[in-house]
Structure 1
Amino acid sequence: MTTTERYLQPHQARLRPPTPFEDLLGDAIERAFADGVHELHALVAYLNRTGPSAENGEPWTESSFAALMARLGQ
């Protein structure tokens, strides 16, 4: 990479620090990936087994997980 090329560190794009819930969810997703879980249905099942629950305290669904990822990705 030359000195004129620019790149963005993911943390530079944050508008605020993650919430405790977001930290827990991120850790759980990382553990799932480390265990070889890569499909959405399997990830949702993993989260429902290990936690954390969805923000509303309900079990995860594929649509609730996708909606949260879309909202957090804005």
Structure 2
Amino acid sequence: MAETSGRTARRAQGHGAASALGGHQSSSTRHPLVAVAMVLPLAILLAVVFGGWEAVITQASSVAGMLGR
């Protein structure tokens, strides 16, 4: 019985932490385009700040080449 109540308490703490951070646990998954739209601005910012445009262009052309085959 003590083991079960311990697990329940840990679950409650996890849910509390998730809601404290403003998030929620959901069984649905995010659409890949939504994920890209979320990450792309940060990726562009990092490329500009650290001067990695050449690496970005190289990787993008590699991916485009693989998708084109």
Q: TM-score, normalised by structure 2?
A: 0.30
Instruction: Name which one, 1 or 2, has greater alpha-carbon Rg.
Output: 2
Q: TM-score, normalised by structure 1?
A: 0.28
Higher helix fraction: Structure 1 or Structure 2?
A: 2
